[in-house]
Amino acid sequence: MTPNPFVGVVYHWLGGLASGSFYVPYRAVKRWSWETYWLVGGFFSWIIVPWFLASIMTNRLAATLHATPADTLFWVYFFGVLWGFGGLTFGLTMRYLGMSLGMAVALGYCAAFGTLIPPIFHGVFLSSVLPSQSGKVIVFGIAVCLAGIACAGKAGTSKEREMSESQKKEAIREFNLRKGLLVATFSGVMSACFAFGLDAGVPIRRLTLQNGTSPLWQGLPILVVLLLGGFTTNFVWCVFLNFRNRSGREYFTPTAAQAPMLWNYFFSALAGTTWYFQFFFYTMGETQMGRYRFSSWTLHMASIIIFSSLWGIGLHEWRGASRRTWTWLFLSLFVLISSTVIVGYGNYLGTLTTK
């Protein structure tokens, strides 16, 4: 399969749309604790949907995983566990900062660590990425992406300074800037471990291709193992909260006086399924990026912030903001969109040098 970086950019945009949208269905969940709806959605995003799609889209999934070296399975799973800490606190980031500012801060850290660490670890960043013209363009695109994330953070900070406490609570009921920034920093750094897990899963990728899987779906078996690690972390924490907060009864209480059970399960399942599709499209986009597939992480992060910012506008999180704040917001969107085009072009140049 001949890589097509511009098609890859479109796939990453679709993944960003899924990630930027996944939290919206959770807003329709009524009278359930966070830990309850987060775990219900997690069963779909980390267990049910990954196994189902990998089973039907790849060849001999069980045989592929059985033949994978134990150390590969361990590291992919371990990075998934670490990523799980970032994932479970990502929801808290939304609660304290809202979708726009929360994603900007968390994904800023995530973009920097997740994009640059793998090529540096493998010793190719200085030896083959920076010396090439295509590599220079990609690195410039990464820098533009980080600048766009900084602009998004500036917009969020400006909004926070201008809005009254009542306006903050109306848009984000549990708004807390200090607590939110701490949680977002931790979440962003730990979330970058997902990129490390994908990198560690290269042997799984090779085995599934040997078993006849289409190159477009080669990343799906890695997600099965990686997300199992993330599920472990989230499951332990959510069950602990269920016991501590005595919220476990919410899974089974069908009375109308408590919660609309069927709708809560439906919206949680919808949120979880939507969340998974970010990486479904991510693995597709990664196959199109050529020799510099590590740049996919930057494209993913930029796309997430673009669409989460648009959702933030649609959900009135920016209501009451000044023209100055709106200028920062639209500047961030312009810069982030530009970064995806630049990174895509850099990967296109890379495909030309390999022909």
Q: What percent of the chain has pLDDT over 70?
A: 91
Q: How confident is the model at residue 225 (pLDDT cuts 50, 70, 90)?
A: very high
pLDDT the model gives residue 168: 56
190-202 pLDDT, tens digit each: 999 999 999 999 9
Tell me if residue 352 falls in helix, strand or coil: helix
- Summarised one tens digit per residue, pLDDT across range 328-344 is 999 999 999 999 999 99
- Burial environment of residue 66 by CB neighbours within 10 A (0 to 12, 13 to 18, 19 or more): exposed
DSSP for 160-208, please give it.
HHHS-HHHHHHHSTT--HHHHHHHHHHHHHHHTHHHHHHHHTHHHHHHH
pTM for this entry: 0.86
Give the pLDDT of residue 166: 63
Q: Which of 286, 101, 78 is nearest to 183 (CA)?
A: 101
What does the pLDDT look like over 63-88, one tens digit per residue?
999 999 999 999 999 999 999 998 77
Mean pLDDT of the chain: 88
Lowest mean pLDDT among 162-166, 301-305, 320-324, 334-338: 162-166
Residues contacting residue 144 through CB under 8 Å, at least 6 positions apart? 335, 338, 339, 342
Is residue 287's pLDDT more than 90?
Answer: yes
DSSP state of 246: T
Distance CA 160, CA 172 (A): 11
Q: Residue 117: pLDDT band by 50, 70, 90 thresholds?
A: confident
Whole-number pLDDT of residue 154: 83
pLDDT at 109: 82
Distance CA 276, CA 287 (A): 18
At 125 the pLDDT is 86
The backbone region for 320, taken as left when phi is positive above 0, alpha when psi lies in -120 to 50, beta otherwise, is left
> Would you say residue 256 has pLDDT above 80?
no
Lowest mean pLDDT among 108-122, 161-175, 254-268, 330-344: 161-175
Quote the CA–CA distance of 14 and 237 in Å, as a whole number.
30
The pLDDT of residue 169 is above 60: no
